[in-house]
């Protein structure tokens, strides 16, 4: 799961940098206008990146909570099963 997040994030950053480079090369605007647009686009990308990161963190917490719940259920089931097995062994 971490690898998938890393690949997605890496791809996003790579696309961002390529897009910025192409925009700089193809920009028909003045330097000040280009910098202003670049700044705006980078702020938007940063906001999107943080939102995506927060989504992944929320999903990770949710998976962690579910895993803990399943683990507790399995422990309880195992304990019940072992107690039943011990009672079967003890009764003649």
pLDDT tens, residue by residue, 13-41: 888 888 887 877 776 767 788 788 888 98
Overall pTM surpassing 0.75 (yes/no): no
Q: Is 84 exposed, middle or buried (0-12, 13-18, 19+ CB in 10 A)?
A: exposed
> Could you tell me what percent of the chain has a pLDDT over 70?
92
- The Cα 59–Cα 46 span in angstroms is 20
- The Cα 87–Cα 92 span in angstroms is 10
27-53 as b/e, with b when 16 or more CB fall inside 10 Å?
eeeeeeeeeeeeeeeeeebeeeeeeee
Task: Give residue limits of the domains in the chain.
Answer: 2-67
Closest CA relative to residue 46, chosen from 14, 22, 16, 10: 16
């Amino acid at each position: 799961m971490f690898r998938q997040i890393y690949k997605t994030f890496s791809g996003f950053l790579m696309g961002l940098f390529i897009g910025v480079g192409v925009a700089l090369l193809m920009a028909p605007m003045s330097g000040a206008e280009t910098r202003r647009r670049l700044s705006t686009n980078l702020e938007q990308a940063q906001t999107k990146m943080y939102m995506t990161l927060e989504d992944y963190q929320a999903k990770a917490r949710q998976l962690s909570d579910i895993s803990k719940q399943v683990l507790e259920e399995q422990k309880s089931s195992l304990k019940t099963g072992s107690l039943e097995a011990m009672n079967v062994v003890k009764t003649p």
